């Protein structure tokens, strides 16, 4: 007898056969959800001329304050892995959103800081981002908290595996 789906993901992606396991169904559902969120996010930042990863870098640098961050520190803090952080920073610098300077005590180290233009861009994006966050509000605080804990557990399992 065929396994019954737990979610609607199979119908959503027009899958005619049941998932082999509930774990497979969860994995497909997570990937589909991530894709939908990324698409929504991309639509939000596109009019501002930046990508989701560039937005992430700017938020990291805003949080770093005047001390800035090195390329390696930025790479460690990114939400999604980026193979070429240096090139990403070059594009942001060319757009005027960041400035990079050599450290005075160690010339090999380059420190990146957000510029006033970068801060203005983030300020302009703050309200639309809160609206995007609001998409999750109907789930309610209790379900959101539970989901966060489950995702923490899932990431830990993936790292171990």
Q: How many domains does the chain have?
A: 1
Q: Is the pLDDT of residue 105 over 90?
A: no
Categorize the per-residue pLDDT at 62 as very low, low, confident or very high, splitting at 50, 70 and 90.
Answer: very high
Overall average pLDDT of the 107-111 stretch: 87
Asked if residue 13 is part of any domain, the answer here is no
CATH code for position 50: 1.10.10.10
pLDDT at position 113 is: 97
Asked if residue 128 is part of any domain, the answer here is yes
Q: In the sheet where 110-114 sits, what is the strand order? A: 69-70, 110-114, 98-102
pLDDT at position 20 is: 92
Asked if residue 41 is part of any domain, the answer here is yes
Asked if residue 47 is part of any domain, the answer here is yes
> What backbone phi and psi angles, to 5 degrees, belong to 79?
-65, -50
What residues make up the domain containing 104? 21-161
pTM summary value: 0.87
pLDDT digits (tens, 9 = 90+) for 119-145: 999 999 999 999 888 999 999 999 999
Categorize the per-residue pLDDT at 2 as very low, low, confident or very high, splitting at 50, 70 and 90.
Answer: low
Asked if residue 42 is part of any domain, the answer here is yes
Distance between CA atoms of 10 and 21, rounded to whole angstroms? 12
> What backbone phi and psi angles, to 5 degrees, belong to 113?
-130, 150
Asked if residue 12 is part of any domain, the answer here is no
Asked if residue 35 is part of any domain, the answer here is yes
- Written as one string, the DSSP assignment of the chain is -PPPPSSSHHHHTT--SPPSSHHHHHHHHHHHHHHHHHHHHHHHHGGGT--HHHHHHHHHHHHHGGG-EEHHHHHHH-SS--S-HHHHHHHHHHTTSEEEEE-SS-TT-EEEEE-HHHHHHHHHHHHHHHHHHGGGGGG-HHHHHHHHHHHHHHHHHHHH-
């Amino acid at each position: 007898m065929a396994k019954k789906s737990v979610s609607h993901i199979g119908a959503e992606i027009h899958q005619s056969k049941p998932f082999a396991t509930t774990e497979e169904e969860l994995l497909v559902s997570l990937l589909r959800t991530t894709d939908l969120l990324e698409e929504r996010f991309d639509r939000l930042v596109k009019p501002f001329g930046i990508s989701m990863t560039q937005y992430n870098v700017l938020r990291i640098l805003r949080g770093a304050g005047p001390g800035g961050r090195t390329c390696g520190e930025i790479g460690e803090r990114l939400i999604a892995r980026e193979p070429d952080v240096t090139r990403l920073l070059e594009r942001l610098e060319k757009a005027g959103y960041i400035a990079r300077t050599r450290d005075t005590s160690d010339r090999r180290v380059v420190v990146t800081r957000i510029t006033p233009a970068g801060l203005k861009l983030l300020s302009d994006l703050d309200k639309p981002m809160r609206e995007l966050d609001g998409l999750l509000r109907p789930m309610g605080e209790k379900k959101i908290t539970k989901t966060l804990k489950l995702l923490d557990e899932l990431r830990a399992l993936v790292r171990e595996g």
